[in-house]
Structure 1
C-alpha cells in the first residue's frame, strides 16, 4: 500500500488530501475546522481529519507533497521588485521578513509542523514539492472522465505562471505553454473585484453575480487600455494601470482616472449602476479571453475534451459560455478548482507522473461527487444535539424525506446536513440550505434573513438529471454547480413593457420564470444536476418534492452566513440554525423545528463572522 498526503497552504484556502494507492480517500479545507473563511494557515486540523479518516498515523505516510515550490515563488518576488524598482519598496519591506523567517525555508517549517501530528515522524526526505500550476492541472485531468484532454489552468499567480496549457493522456501530463506574471487573467478580475468594493480572493463571486445587472459599456476601454488580447486568447496587461505587482493595493490613480471614480468603499458607498456596468464589462472580457483560448487550443491540438482548474475555472458563467460555443465535445471542471484543490493535484501528480503509476479512467469521474470530508454517525449527531440542548425528533428515512419535502413545498427554509462534507467552495446537497424555487420572495428572504448578504446575489437550482432539458438550455451533467445556462424558453415569464425599462437592481424583484428564486436577471441559473448514484438521499428529497409540487427543482445554497465557512459539524449547523431565520434543521435522521427550540439558545449571528 502506498499513501500520499497532499498539502496546500500559506496563501488562501489551505487544505489536505490523502491518496491510498492512487485513490482519493479524503480531502478537506482548513477553514471548515477553524471557522476562519479562506484560512491560509498550516492545515493542522484538515491533516488530522484525513489521517483519522484513513486510520493512519503520519509515520505511516509514504510521501508528503506540498502544492508549490517556495524558492521559485521567492525568485519571482525578488525579480519583480528589481524590475519595478524603486516602486514597491514599502511592499518589499513588508514581504521580505515573512519570507526570510517562514516561507523560504518551508521544508524545515513543514517538517516541524508535521511532527506535531506524530512524534514518530522523523524522515524529512518524505517531503516533496510540486509546481503550483502542475498541481492545478493534475487536479483537473487525473480525476476527470477522459483518457485524453487539453488542460487549461488560470488563476492569480503560482510561482511564475498565471495561465498554463497542458496535454493529459493516460497517466501523463505535459505542460506545453505558460503565460507569466504580471500578466494574469485572475489578477485582472481580482483588480475589478477590489475596485467594485469587494474582498480579493473572496468577492469574485459577487462581481460575477452583479454583472447581469449591468451593461458592458467599459468593455472596449478595458481592451484598449488595460489588456492586449491576441487572436489566440493570449494577453498582456498594461502595468501602468495596476499596483498589484509591487504595491499594497490592486489599482493606482491612473486606473481611477481612466474610469472616473475611486474604488468603492464597502463600508460607506452603495453599489451603483456604475459598479454593475464595471462588473458586466470585466465579465465580458473574461469570457471573450476564455473562449478565444479554448478555440485556439482546440484548433492547435485537435483534442475534443477540455479540463479546467485554477481560480478562474470557478467563473461558472464563463464555463457555460465555452460550453455553449460547442468548441469541445466534453468539458470537466475540478470542483475544488482553487488552491484547496492544489493539495489533491500535487498528490495525484506525484502518484501518476513521478511514480509512473497507471491510471484507470472512471466514466463519471474520480471525485466521489466531491463528498470527501467528515461525516457523523447518527449516534454522534444525537449526542451532540443533546449536549447543545436541541429539541428534535428522530425519523426513519422515508418519513424524514416526506416531511422535509412537505415543509419545502410550504416555503419553509431548511438547513440540510447529511453524509460527508463537500470538498471545494460549493455545497452540493450535504451541507446545504434548501428552499422552494417557485416562491417569488425566496431569493430576497434567503439573502437578507438567512445569509445576511447582498440582495442581488443569485441562488442555484438543484435539479434531477432526467428533468434537466425540460427546464434548462443544457444537455450535459453539471454535478458540481460549475456551469451556467439559461432557462428553457417555455419556463420563462415575459416581462411587461414597463418592467423591460427597469435598470440595475430594480430588476431584482421581477418574476421572470416558473422558478423565480433561481432565475437570475438575465434568465440564467448556476445549475447542479443530481442523480441517485452520487447522492441518493438528496435525490430522494428532490424526487419527493417533485411528487408533491410537480417541480423537480429546489433552491440549494451553502449552509453558512456571509463571512462564515460552510458548516462542518452538527454544532456548526445548530449554531447557524439558531442564529438565523432558518425554519427547519434536518441533520442525519434528526428533524428540528425552530418554533419548539429553547429561545435562550437563539444567537446573535450577524456579528459572529467578519463580513467578506
Structure 2
C-alpha cells in the first residue's frame, strides 16, 4: 500500500489529508483539535489524527506534500514591494521577519516539525505543489467526471489568483492564469473589510447580507474598480485598494468614491448602505463568474465544470452558474479553501508526480466529506460522564425517534453522529438542528444559540429524493454549495406593507411554509441528504417527515460564533451547556438541558473571539 500525506499550513485553515493507494482515508483541519478558529499553525494534531485513522506511522508514508511553493510567494512579496516602493514599507517591514524566520526556509521548518513525529523522517519524501495546482487537483481528482474544465478562484496563491485547467483521466493541465494583484477573492475581501467584517472569515457574511440590499453600486464598481472583459478576465484599479502596499484592504479613494468611511467592525450600525454595497459586490462577483464559465464552456466544449478556491464557496454564484446551463454538471470541492489544498496536494503527487491511474465512479470520492474523527458509544459515554453530564442511552433506532420528536416539538437539537466533516460546512455529523416550519427559529438560533448577527441565514437539509418538492432544484447538493429558490407553491405572497419594508426589517416576515430556511429573496442554501453517505441523518429526517410531513430540517454548524465546529464529545457537551441548545443527541446518548447541573453552564457568549 502507498500512502501520501498532504499538508496545508502557515497562512490560515491548516489541515492534513491522507490517501491510501489514491483513495481518501481521512482529512481534518487543525482548528478542530486546537479549538483556535482558522488555526494557521503546523497541523500536528491533524497529522496525528489522519495517521491514526489509517493505523500507520509517519515512517510508513511514501510522500509528504506541502500545498504551495514558498519561494514563488517570496518572489511575489519582493516584486510587489519594488513595484510600489517607497509606499508599502511598513507592511514589507512587518512581513520580512516572519518570512526570514519561518516561511522562506519552510523546508527546514517542515523537516523539524515532521521529525518531532518521526525522528528518522527522510527529507527526500518531502514534495511541494503549487497553490493553485493543489486547489485544482482537489476539485478534479475526487470529482465524478472523466473529463472537466477546472476553475480555481481565490485571493492569491504564489502569483495566480484565478486558474483554468483541463482534467482528463489522471492528467490535469493548467491552461490559463490571472495574476496578483488582480483577484476576485481580494476584491470580495476588500468589500468584506469595507463593510466592517473580518477578512478571510467574514466573506460569507457579506454574501448573507446581500439579499437585504439592492445592487445599486454594481455599475459604479465596474466603472471605477474593475475593468471587466467579455471573457471574464479583469483588472483591478489599484487606486482603490491598499493590499499591495499597506496594512488595510482599501484606500481613501474607496471611501471618497462611495462617500462613506470604512465601517468599524461590531461598533458601527449596519445600514442600508452596507446592505446595498454587499448586494453590489455580490452582483459583480456573479457577473464575473458567469462570464468566465460561459467563455470556458464555449472554448473547450467540455460539459463538466469542477471548482475550488475560496470564491467557490460562494454558493449563490454557484447556483447561478448551474442554472445558467453553460455546463451540464458542476462539482465543487467541499473544502474549497486552503484546508482543501492539503487534499489536493496529496492528489497532485499521486496522479501527476507518480503518474498513478485514476478510477472514476458514479459518485464522487469525498465520502460525503465525512473524513474526520468518529467516537464509539462507550467512549462517548465515558467522556460525557467525566464531564458531569446526565444522559439516557437508547438502542435500535429509539434515539432517532426521540430526537425527531424533540425537533417536532420545536426544540433546538445538537446532533453529533459519525465522522466529523472536512471543510467549513456542517453536513449532519456536527450540526445544530431545528424545525424549518418555525417562524422564530432563525432568530432564536442566531441570537440565543450561535450568538451572532440576526440576518445570517440557515440552510435546509432535505432528503435527496424530496428536494424538488421544496426547491427549484432537482439534483445533488450534498455539500451545501448550491443556492436555489423555494418552490412557488410553498411561498407566501407579501402584503404591500411587507413589500415596502427594507433592510433588516425584512427578516421577521414569514415568506414560505419553511420560513426558518427561506432567505429574504426566497432562496435557500441547500444540502441534499443521501442514505448512502449519512444513513443516520437520513433516518432522522425521514422520521421527522413521518411526524410532521416535512422532509427537511434546519441545519447549522455545531459551534458558537468564533468557535471551530465541535470535534469531541466533550466539545459538544460544553457547547450544549454554554448555549440554549435544549437537546443533545450524541452517539446512542440523549441529553436534555433540564436534567443537567446548572453549575456546569459556561458563558459561551463571550468565550470566543468574534469571527
**Shorter-chain TM-score category?**
over 0.9
Structure 1 CA distance, aligned partners of 2:18 and 2:397?
A: 34
Partner of 2:80: 80
Partner of 2:440: 441
SS, match of residue 407 in structure 2? helix
Partner of 1:117: 117
Are positions 1:71 and 2:66 aligned together? no
Alpha-carbon displacement from aligned partner over 1:356-375 (angstroms, at most 9, x marks no partner) = 10000021100000000001
Partner of 2:134: 135
The TM-score, its normalising length taken from structure 1, stands at 0.99
Are positions 1:148 and 2:158 aligned together? no
Alpha-carbon displacement from aligned partner over 1:490-531 (angstroms, at most 9, x marks no partner) = 010111111001001000000000000000000000000011
Q: Check conservation: 1:8, 1:343, Cα contact below 8 A.
A: yes
Alpha-carbon displacement from aligned partner over 1:73-117 (angstroms, at most 9, x marks no partner) = 000010000011111001110001110111001001100001111
The TM-score, its normalising length taken from structure 2, stands at 1.00
SS, match of residue 191 in structure 2? helix
Cα offset, 1:397, TM superposition? 3.9
Structure 1 CA distance, aligned partners of 2:127 and 2:402?
A: 51
Partner of 1:608: 607
Cα offset, 1:178, TM superposition? 0.2
Correspondence list, 1:187-586, <5 A: 187-586=186-585
SS, match of residue 174 in structure 2? strand
Q: Check conservation: 1:136, 1:341, Cα contact below 8 A.
A: yes
Structure 1 residue ranges (4+ consecutive) displaced by more than 3 angstroms after TM superposition? none
Structure 1 CA distance, aligned partners of 2:120 and 2:342?
A: 23
SS, match of residue 159 in structure 1? coil
Give structure 1 stretches of 5+ with no counterpart: none
Q: Check conservation: 1:397, 1:589, Cα contact below 8 A.
A: no
Give structure 2 stretches of 5+ with no counterpart: none
SS, match of residue 68 in structure 1? coil
SS, match of residue 605 in structure 1? coil
Cα offset, 1:606, TM superposition? 1.1
Q: Check conservation: 1:134, 1:346, Cα contact below 8 A.
A: yes
SS, match of residue 26 in structure 2? strand
Deviates further, 422-431 or 48-57: 48-57
Structure 2 CA distance, aligned partners of 1:314 and 1:553?
A: 22
CA RMSD of aligned residues (A): 0.6
Cα offset, 1:232, TM superposition? 0.4
Cα offset, 1:354, TM superposition? 1.1
Question: What is the total number of aligned residue pairs between the two structures?
Answer: 611
Structure 2 CA distance, aligned partners of 1:153 and 1:335?
A: 13
Structure 2 CA distance, aligned partners of 1:362 and 1:287?
A: 31
Structure 2 CA distance, aligned partners of 1:470 and 1:423?
A: 29
SS, match of residue 311 in structure 2? helix
Partner of 2:125: 126
Q: Check conservation: 1:317, 1:484, Cα contact below 8 A.
A: yes
Partner of 2:595: 596
Alpha-carbon displacement from aligned partner over 1:307-366 (angstroms, at most 9, x marks no partner) = 010000000000001011111110000000000000000000000011110000021100
